[in-house]
Amino acid sequence: MSQVLRLVRSWIVKPSPALLRWSVIGGLVGSLCLVWGARPGAAQRATQGASDVYSVTYRPPDVEYTTYPGDHFDLIVQDGVEDTAWRIREALERTREGTTDLMGVRSSIHMPVVVDGFSDRSNGFVTPFPFKQEIEAPSLRADALVARASSWPSIVGSHELVHATQAEINSGFGLGSVVRFFAPDVARAGNLTAPRGLLEGAAVYRESRIEEGAGRLNAPLFTMKMRAAMLSDDPWSLTQMLAPPAYTQPFNRFYIGGAHAFKAWAEQGDTTSTKFFQRATALHNQFPFLGFGVGLWNGLGESPKRISEDLRATLRADYQQDLSRRRPFTDARRIAGQPGHNYRRPYWLTEDTLVTYLHGYDVRRGFYRVNAETGDRSLIRVQSITEDYTYSLGRDTSALYASRYVPDPLVPTQNIAEAERVGLKDGAATQVTEGGRVFAPVEAPNDSLWAVRNDGSFSQWAAVQNRTAKSLTDFERARFKKIAPSPAENTIAVLLNVDGTQRLYRVDHHRRDRVRLRPWIGLQDAVIYDVSWGPDGRYLLFAADLDETPDVFAFDTKDHEVRRLTNVRFGALEPTLSPDRETVAFVEYQHERHELARIPFRPQAAPLVDSTRVVRGGESPQPPPRVQSTETADLGAGRAYEAWRHLAPRMVYPTLSYDPDETDRPGAARFERLGVGVGLGVAGSDPLGRWRYQGNGFWQDGRLWGSATVQTGRWLLRPSLTAYNTPDTLPVRLETGRGLRAARIGFEERGIALGTQIPIRLQSNVYRSALSLSLGAEYRQTRYFGSALNVLAEDQAARLGQWRDRITLSPRGAWGHRVQQNPRDLVPNQGVVVQSRAEIDAWTEGVAASRALISEVDVYLPLFLRSHTGVRLGAGVLSQNAGAVLGTDQFIPRGYEDRSLGAGSFVRVGAEVTQPIWYIDDGSTLVPFYAKALYGYGFGQALTRVDSSGPTYSSFGAGIGFQFRFFYALEFDLQVGAAVRLEPGDVEPVWR
């Protein structure tokens, strides 16, 4: 889900009525699960009480699923990706026992595993609501995870199984075991509120011990970031290693730091043991409110402060020793680079101009021209790109060819990789495929287009004709990375991965419908990451990790020698040779950035790579041809997916409700008291999210009350149906024989509500546009009841005791247009957001009809991108025929929160400036507190009534805001300030 769509949806989704009362279980764990990620590192899900923990998912309407039951894993497989599903099951079964031993879980695991194939943006995650794994068949493009793995399923299956096992930890009597008795999914969610860096660290550690050389702890692209961070002037603290950063690169810091910390702790001394992790997670399972610092103390036997200091010192000493061993380093000249900027995959346009992809803290991601002498840059086009940053320069240097993920407007989780041509003169982009599912497009010698096309969890070489991609190869277990035609002859270099070996292949002659590959060049025990030709086709440049550090190499096709061009501290990538063959430009990794650097091209002066490390010709593995396979038969007998088989209650929990006594002061009358209500609640969902339900019933005041909701994601509108009958008491002042007395009167409400909602992604290419619409229709009856009616006149009591009926429509809509926000912006730096909501009584009986409408527009101005200053201008209109029809707390100017707006029409205008002061991105391990950012804000607002004379509310002011995270999952944004109120001429403290 794109950022703007999440923003838009959060503005218009109406909070569910408090139909489900606080339960005993919710009281114990609600604070821990208020904001909860679906899995560490994946898309996050917020939960607001038991009625919201389960949700529906809308999937493409033409996608069908088949269920393949198993002893431990029930596969729910999209038709057409059975081969990937078989490989995932094989990986899960092969690693299951080792993973449960690592985590210290004694119970046998059994869970559904959903395998999708309708999207190209690959992912895998575990969610506790409902408990399942969900894995997308297409492989990730990032080399750090998959370059050394035999396949995407082998690595993602073993990784996600660790999270599933973490969720199943049950360490004896404690909060976790009590909750598990009523709501196993909530107990699993509680386990996964441990610091995400530690959870991901364990998973990365496990994935790195499955296949020889595979996994991120064996990947130099991954480990180089840890080395650079720990040898920087400000090495990471333990909290920074274990907590997801909010505003600081690398944004997968908690994966990197958590994995290296886990490895250091597990491999202390001469033995390997994860008992520390088991002791730590056991304590967290039993007493999560203690914070995980106490768990680490229990697991490692030292205070968190001492643990952090020892870890820092050990890692810094090891990394410094390695640097000393590898000296001297290449004296490269930096062209451009600063913290937070990432230059990727440069190409030479002329002898002094490069084109490169850039993203970072204060720049809009896209293609830029860069002067090779001064580093000055100019924008070509703001553009998103696939995560491998693989694109190509056209043969005549007039255009670029790149792929990006194009979102489906209606299916939130579907993104198709399409190829586009970007003109360098005007920056215009033209999509050249339709439903292509292609990556790394490149202009072919015959002016057509070649690309890499997804094929399940592998990929094929494809030709693009008439906007359609057709595969030219049909290999098993092969992942094409890049196709690079020589500028001088028919030779084509192909970067290809076969069973975890990533090397260069060669094509000397090709036909329009078929290609024949020959193994060409590889480096022993190393991965080649990218490849580019020199201008005359003699030299082939590439990056490889020959000595556990990515460096730049050159292969001379004339004398067939491989020479090493760089020896850098952390990593050199993506080399390109200038048109005059005088200079090599490349990307060098430094802490928090990818810099653009250059060195003179002097191949004869560069050292030769030892011939024993060079793999030539036939010694390199060849991609096997596809043959008719019977492997998928091992999935067993399948049946069409049926949601009803999975709809048994996943939560059955006691509920407790009570009626507060607000009339305990002397002389107050108490006419009605509902007392304590007890009951049961249930909730559930199926693994595909086609249906969800929630209901509760409780006995209170001598009656049975309750509510029930059911919703489906089978249809685009995600319809829901809610029925309820609930009691409450309201404070009133009644005229009695003793005069006017304070009292509470019973209030009963019952009805049926229908709801629909539809999010639409209009644009998602750096600038993002989205539309979200919803409509609710509710038939509601209300009446007063109880002994308080007995003191009233007979006709008045009868009138209050009668049912009042109404049918209410609640339309809502929000539209975000070209909203853009850089990683360190606290608010968008550009865009327009329009939102509107209304409550309209379409029909009433016995009660006056209420109508209200609020419409607001916010405009974000791109004035100060470098300083991340957010400037928002806003205006709003409110019209209502009675007070309190809609909540107006956020509509009324600051400083006047105690005022209420009655019937009438109102206009509000205002402006707000937000200025970051300090990106803290650090915290405490012992006390579960993480500070994200400190900022200042200033505002000015004015509200006036327009349909008649009335009060005007105006204020301006300023304050301090503080963003922080508590208990690893609870997100807070606290604002404290002062508002100068113009009408009374005073100053009012304000906070939100």
CA dist 335 → 50, 329, 468, 541, 901 (Å): 55, 18, 39, 19, 59
Residues 6+ apart with CB under 8 A from 905: 877, 878, 879, 945, 946, 947
pLDDT of residue 673: 73
What is the Cα–Cα distance from 577 to 585, expressed in whole angstroms? 7
pLDDT of residue 40: 31
Residues 6+ apart with CB under 8 A from 554: 539, 540, 541, 562, 563, 565, 601, 603, 606
Structure confidence at residue 510 as a pLDDT band (50, 70, 90): low
Q: Is the dihedral of CA 471, 476, 480, 486 positive or negative?
A: negative
Nearest to 484 by CA among 524, 455, 513, 521: 521
pLDDT of residue 185: 96
What is the Cα–Cα distance from 959 to 991, expressed in whole angstroms? 9
194-205 pLDDT tens trace: 999 999 999 999
Question: Looking at residues 226-253, what average pLDDT do you find?
Answer: 96
Question: Looking at residues 655-674, what average pLDDT do you find?
Answer: 63
pLDDT > 60? residue 404: yes
pLDDT of residue 447: 77
Structure confidence at residue 738 as a pLDDT band (50, 70, 90): low
In percent, the amount of the chain with pLDDT more than 90 equals 78
The one-letter code for the residue type at 394 is: G
Q: What is the CA radius of gyration of the chain?
A: 31
CA dist 233 → 320, 341, 682, 893 (Å): 13, 18, 53, 45
pLDDT > 50? residue 398: yes
Question: Looking at residues 19-47, what average pLDDT do you find?
Answer: 32
The one-letter code for the residue type at 55 is: S
Structure confidence at residue 749 as a pLDDT band (50, 70, 90): very high
884-943 pLDDT tens trace: 777 788 899 999 988 888 889 999 999 999 999 999 999 998 889 999 999 999 999 999
Question: Looking at residues 348-376, what average pLDDT do you find?
Answer: 97
Structure confidence at residue 511 as a pLDDT band (50, 70, 90): low
**Do residues 536 and 488 make contact, with C-beta atoms less than 8 angstroms apart?**
yes
Structure confidence at residue 630 as a pLDDT band (50, 70, 90): very low
Q: What DSSP letter does each residue of 306-323 carry, written as one string? A: HHHHHHHHHHHHHHHHHH
CA dist 491 → 472, 483, 515, 517, 563 (Å): 17, 11, 12, 11, 21
**Do residues 204 and 259 make contact, with C-beta atoms less than 8 angstroms apart?**
yes
pLDDT of residue 674: 83
Element (H, E) at 732: strand 720-736
- The rounded Cα 457 to chain-centroid distance in angstroms is 22
Least confident of 42-46, 536-540, 707-711: 42-46
What is the Cα–Cα distance from 727 to 305, expressed in whole angstroms? 52
Task: Assign 776 to helix, strand or coil.
Answer: strand
pLDDT > 90? residue 382: yes
pLDDT > 50? residue 177: yes
Q: How much is the mean pLDDT over the chain?
A: 89
pLDDT > 80? residue 19: no
Q: Is the dihedral of CA 323, 326, 328, 333 positive or negative?
A: negative
Structure confidence at residue 289 as a pLDDT band (50, 70, 90): confident
pLDDT > 60? residue 663: no
CA dist 24 → 190, 512, 656, 682 (Å): 15, 68, 6, 13
pLDDT of residue 745: 82
pLDDT > 80? residue 45: no
What is the Cα–Cα distance from 932 to 945, expressed in whole angstroms? 40
550-569 pLDDT tens trace: 999 999 999 999 999 999 99
For 330, what's the count of Cα atoms within 13 Å in the CB-facing half-sphere? 28
Least confident of 134-143, 380-389, 660-669, 929-938: 660-669
What is the Cα–Cα distance from 745 to 792, expressed in whole angstroms? 12
The one-letter code for the residue type at 306 is: R
What is the Cα–Cα distance from 210 to 13, expressed in whole angstroms? 44
- What pTM was computed for the model? 0.91
Question: Looking at residues 851-878, what average pLDDT do you find?
Answer: 96
**Burial class of residue 602 (count of CB atoms within 10 Å of its CB; 0-12, 13-18, 19+):** exposed
What is the Cα–Cα distance from 168 to 166, expressed in whole angstroms? 5
